Structures are given as structure tokens and as C-alpha cells.
Amino acid sequence: MNERQGRLLLLTTILGSGMAFLDGTIVNVALPRIGRDLDTDLAGLQWVVNGYTLTLAALILVGGSLGDRLGRKRVYGWGIAGFAVASVLCAVSPTIEILVGARLLQGVAAALLTPGSLAMLQASFHPDDRMRAIGAWTGMLGIATAGGPVLGGWLVGIDWRLAFWINVPIAVAILFLLRYAPETLDPHAEHHVDIPALLLAPLALAGITWALTAWPDTGLSGTTLLSLVIGVLAAVAFVVAERREHAPMVPLGLFANRTFSVINLVTLAVYAALSGSFFLLAVYLQVSAGWSPLAAGAATVPVSVVMLFLASRFGGVATRYGARLPMLSGSLVLGLGLALLAMAPDRPSYVTQILPGITLMGFGLSMLVAPLTGTVLAAAPEERSGIASGINNAVSRTAGLIAIAGLPLVVGLSGREYEQPAAVADAFRASMWWCVGLVAVGALLTAVGLQRHCNRPEVAAGASAATSDAT
């Protein structure tokens, strides 16, 4: 940390991760403007978010393994360059179809750069400085994430295309700084490529997501049903293939550990609630409440601020008293925050009807996420902590993918109704109650599935990464 090369490496990883976080924040705020400019329906807007998440969720484990095998610096650079190129394609997209295609490519690039950030710090810094470097990475990302919605809202208020153009100069700066980063790799990394998993995972996610997104407009038509069947069959084939594969992308043996399985199910429920709620909140505040993109983006800042200051503290609580209690308490507070948002009127007051719910969400996530992430790491053998973290990350992305595709279906929002203030407000309130139910499922799984004193020292160590990843 006291060497110039170390400080440059830290800056390089912060900028790369910050670019990916900022992009996700801005795109959510930009959705109503994108819809009006490109004349698209709700399904098109869902795919603007889900196209990126689909390829990222399906390929993030591949990105991590490529970095271990070919060099983390090299693969990270590929991801940064690809993200910049895809961002340019997004910025100049004349139609929603081209924009979604560019977002799919952005997700591929993000799958290459996302695992490399922490891996480069872990492999390059001296053990005595490693946690200090990760702490600095987390703190800076926390500040960037807290300010991201404000910056994003301001950019979108000028032109939504700036949300993508801003990635280009950041990427150029990262590639320049990357010249000073040391190259690291795992000499014992598996050189086998799990081709069946590489093909079946995206097919499963794409089939199910397509069916859920199209269902509100087309009903259970032949095409929708075929897409759903293909997705489900691909998911089953994925599990079968991984059981037979000698070097699987997802080692299913990890799920023999009850704690690991339970935590990933909790992750699926909680992150579905988070992704669905933030997706619809951004639309509701602009379309129904009539707020500007800047105001809508700034509305969620308290979540990031509260997590920045409290998440690591609750990681320490979990270390001392076990993960079960803070996770249950966090689920209760998170659910209460979502319930308060579910009671917001069509034209809410921020101070009395949005801020309390948003703040409680920040407190709930601070209690919940660090113990959750730390327990996943502790449940796997030490030599497989990287793949365990990657699987949990992929599960959280998949949860968001399904929630954003499925929530409009269950609340009856479709077509151009996202432009109608009353329809959006009704759908938002109904969606928040569904999200409350998802959090309640996560709490039930925690209460039943986790042992009362399920804790390890890794919980505290996982708190830093958990804070940034959750935000």
C-alpha cells in the first residue's frame, strides 16, 4: 500500500468496478427516458436491464476461471475494453433492439472484468496489506455508489445516452493505468473448459426470461410456452451435465453442505426482492410521482450511505453471535421498509412516504448482506472459497433477472402502461407487497435452515466485499 505500483493497482480496480456499478445505477434511472426516445413498450425496457444481467449471470464464473488461467490483468483488460466498445454501441443505438443487443455484449464484458477486480488485489498485495487494500477498495466504491444515482440522474436529465458515453473516458483511463499492474495467475488452474455449462446456462436463463417477459403481452402463446419449455429443459440438462462433468463450472458437491444450499436460496429470495423493488421504484418515481431523473436517482442514496457505515459493523456482530440472528433481524427490517413503500400514494412526499422505507431498507441490508456473504464463504472448503463466492454472485444476478422479468407479469403491468401514472402506481404498490413476501421467504429459510450459532471468522472478512456487491 505504500508503493506507487500498489496505489495505482488499487485505483485501477476501483475505477473498473466503479464503472460497472455506475452503469447499472444510471440505466435504472434512464428507463422512462429510453422508453420515450426509442418508442418501446415495457418488455423492451425490461430487456435493457435483463440483457446485461443475463450474460453477466451466465458467464461470471467463466470470467473468473479465465482470469485464473490466462492472467487476471489480461482478462480484466479485455473486459474493460469490451465494456467501452459495448457502451459506445449502447450510446448510438437507434432502436431498442440494437440497444438490447449492445447490453448483452456489455454483460459479457462485465463477466470478464467483475471477478478480476478483487482477485487482482488478493493475488498482488502483500498479506499484511491485503485487507487494508480491500477495505480501501470497498470504501471508495461505497462513496462512488452513493453518489452514482445523483450523477446518473443529472446525466439522464441532459440525455440518457450520456449514461453510456461516460464509460468511454473511464475505460481509457483504466487501460492506461493497467500497464503498471502486475500480472498474476493460478499455475494450478484447471485448463478444461466446461462447454456444456457454457452453452446451457445462457440458454436456460434466456428461455425462462423471455417467457416471463413476453407473457403479459402475448399470454401463454405457443412461442411463449416453447421458450419456457426450452429454458426449463436447458436448466435440467445443466444440472445433469454438471453432475457428470469431471471439472464442472459449478461443482454441485458444494450444495451437499446444508448451510451453503440454504444461504443461496436466501440469496435468491432477497436479491429478487431488491432488484424488483429498485427497478419499479425508478419508474414509479418518474412516471407516477412526476419526479425528475435526478430526484429519482437521489431518492435511493440513503441505502448506500447506511450500508457504507454499518455493513462491516454487522459483519462483526455475526462473527461474535452467529449469522442467524442478524440475518433474521435484517430480513424483518428490510421487509418493513418495503411494506412502507407499498403504502405510498400516487404522488408521494419524499420525507414522509419514501425516505422512511428507503432508510429501513438500508438498515435491513446492513444487517443481512455481510453475514450472508460471509456464511457462504465459511460453508465452503477454503480452497473453494472463490468458486463459492462466484456461485453466490451468479445466484444474486439470476434472482434479479427473474424478478425484473416476472414482477410485471404477476402485478399485471404490460405494454405501454408504464407511461400511465395510475397504472404504474398500482403496479408499484402491488410489487412491493410481492417483494415483502420474498423477503419473508428468505427469513423463513434462515430460521429453519441455519443453525443458531452458524458463524466463522470469514464473516467479518466477507463484509467488505458484501457491502459493495449488494449496493
**Mean pLDDT, to the nearest integer, of 157-162?**
92
φ/ψ (deg, to 5) at 192 = -80, 135
CB 100 within 8 A of CB 35: no
Q: What is the pLDDT of residue 72?
A: 87
Question: Looking at the domain 250-471, which fold is it?
Answer: Growth Hormone; Chain: A; (1.20.1250)
Task: Say how many C-beta atoms besides its own lie within 10 A of residue 119's C-beta.
Answer: 23
Q: What is the pLDDT of residue 378?
A: 77
Burial of 301 (0-12, 13-18, 19+ CB in 10 A): middle
Q: Rounded to an integer, what distance in angstroms lies between the CA atom of residue 397 and that of residue 261?
A: 16
| Identity of the highest mean pLDDT range in 26-35, 166-175, 444-453 | 166-175
At 189, the pLDDT band (50, 70, 90 cuts) reads low
CB 83 within 8 A of CB 105: no
* Whole-number Cα distances in Å, 171 to 6, 86, 113, 133: 19, 11, 11, 21
Domain boundaries, the chain: 1-181, 195-248, 250-471
Which CATH class name applies to 1-181?
mainly alpha
Q: Quick: pLDDT tens for 73-100.
A: 999 999 999 999 999 999 999 999 999 9
Q: Look over the chain and give the mean of its residue pLDDT values, rounded to a whole number.
A: 87
Which is nearest to 291 in space by CA: 156, 125, 442, 89?
156
DSSP, residue by residue, 314-368: HHHHHHHH-SHHHHHHHHHHHHHHHHHHHT--SS--IIIIIHHHHHHHHHHHHHH
Domains 1-181 and 250-471 share a fold: yes
Q: What is the pLDDT of residue 382?
A: 64
Residue type, 149: P
Q: Quick: pLDDT tens for 87-134.
A: 999 999 999 999 999 999 999 999 898 888 878 887 888 877 877 787
| Residue 389 or residue 7, greater confidence | 7
Q: What is the pLDDT of residue 383?
A: 63
DSSP, residue by residue, 387-432: HHHHHHHHHHHHHHHHHHHHHHHHHT--TTGGG-HHHHHHHHHHHH
Full-model pTM? 0.86
